[in-house]
Amino acid sequence: MNNTDQNVILVTGGTGKTGRRIARNLQNMGRPTRVGSRASTPAFDWNNPANWKDCLDNVEAAYISYAPDLAMPGASDTIQAFVDLAVTKGVKRLVVLSGRGEEEAQTCEQIIINSGLEWTVVRASWFFQNFSEGAFIDMVLAGQITVPAGNTLEPFVDVDDISDVATVALAQDGHNGQIYEVTGPRLMSFTDIAADLSAAIGRDITYHDVPHDAFVNEVKESGAPRDVVWMLDYLFATVLDGRNSSLTDGVQRALGRKPRDFRDYAIEVAKTGVWRVAA
């Protein structure tokens, strides 16, 4: 993309799970797209406000994906500063990826809602892709998902569905003022997840409930980045308590179709070989 283009759509977190999909969607639509990442030009980094100004040049709409999570201490100050600059730079529309059932994230939502700009909130919780692109892929490869989740039911959602919702909210009219809570089509426990993965992969994947502190310590000892440790600690200690054990119609309302089921995701990903273990 030529950075002198007008009506640019900025995708922060542009190389992340949702961001890279949204950027690809927008580019396929022929929309001028700026991928916001540390490796892009101009570079975008949530921890370096000095570079935001160049990233917001000629931007009409911006996707806000804050890493590691909007519930992170200090996130609201960062979001406020970014939104204030976006207003100054003439941005017209903001779409934010928020956390379902996260009180702190909803504080950040209010900053965007009160910005005076067009806005859309996309709320999600646990992603399918955590098992193929994220924190749990090594567990799947090892055949044991060991997390402190009990039997809590969660409406796991496909990142492709989240990205499709955000894409239309960025690129099309008709989504201003909408809060889309997005879920998959069924409530699932980690036992259910393991069963679907076993069927798709063709080998036994088991789920083992473990104490929370032991899990966090193991994540730390694995060498995971501090923000990943914090996020997993927060999600398992705070959000995975049943508060999100209900289905919503966000995908249907935004896209006019049903969300994808975990079983279909698992079958498709298994074909790629990402879960294949050397004999």
Model pLDDT for residues 157-175, shown as the tens digit of each residue: 999 999 999 999 999 999 9
Does residue 164 fall inside a structural domain? Answer: yes
**Within-domain flag for 77:** yes
Q: Identify whether 37 is part of a domain.
A: yes
Q: State pTM to two decimals.
A: 0.95
pLDDT digits (tens, 9 = 90+) for 109-145: 999 999 999 999 999 999 999 999 988 999 999 999 9
Assign 4 a pLDDT band (cuts: 50, 70, 90).
Answer: low
CATH number where 107 lies: 3.40.50.720
First to last CA, the chain: 44
If one counts the domains in the chain, the total is 1
Residue 104 lies in a domain: yes
For residue 47, being part of any structural domain is answered with yes
Nearest alpha carbon to residue 41 among 30, 27, 54, 22: 54
Is residue 203 one of the residues assigned to a domain?
Answer: no
Closest CA to 189 of 213, 212, 215, 208: 208
In a domain, 55, yes or no: yes
Range of the domain at 75: 8-125+158-183+246-259
* Residue 112 covered by a domain: yes
What is the per-residue pLDDT across 13-46, written as a single tens digit (0 to 9) for each? 999 999 999 999 999 999 999 999 999 999 999 9
DSSP code string of 99-143: ETT-HHHHHHHHHHHTTSSEEEEEEE--BGGGGTTSTTHHHHHHT
